[in-house]
Amino acid sequence: MLPEHLARIRARLEAMREEIVREGDARVRVEREEAVAGSADEDQAPHEEMDQAIASSRNRTRAATLARIDAALRRLDADPDAFGTCADCDDEIPARRLELMPFARLCVDCQAKRDPARGGARKHVLDFKG
Ligand SMILES: [Zn+2]
């Protein structure tokens, strides 16, 4: 991969990281406190119960994405030459995929094989809706 391409991916990873950290406040790091949280403001509690459930699942997603971004940045530092190749089949991960998901470790095919529920099949189901 070209150095300027790597630099662009690094910039993108860092921007994504910053955005997640900013959006999630400190909550991403204090995920363990989630179990005890939820008794904040009594007046707001009823209609925010759902929001909290959604927010906490979002926080988990954010924390997971953050971990993947950090791992990608580490890979980028440790072995820039290998960055952007699929961890399973060693093929190059297409630039477009890396642009959307700079932390991707697998090409689309291998990702679909490992994680069929999130692969193409489900998308088709959703497409047929309505
Ligand atoms: Zn692959």
- What distance in Å separates the CA atoms of residue 69 and residue 55, rounded to the nearest whole number? 20
Q: What is the distance in A from the centroid of ligand 1 to the CA of 119?
A: 14
Q: Residue 7's pLDDT band (boundaries 50, 70, 90)?
A: very high
Confidence of residue 124 (pLDDT cuts 50, 70, 90): very low
Instruction: Quote the ligand 1 centre to 47 CA distance (angstroms).
Output: 45
pLDDT value for 68: 95
Contact 85, 93 (CB under 8 A): yes
CB 93 within 8 A of CB 104: yes
Distance CA 83, CA 77 (A): 9
CA distance 54 to 58: 6
How far does residue 56's CA lie from ligand 1's centre (Å)? 32
pLDDT tens-digit profile of 13-29?
Answer: 999 999 998 887 655 44
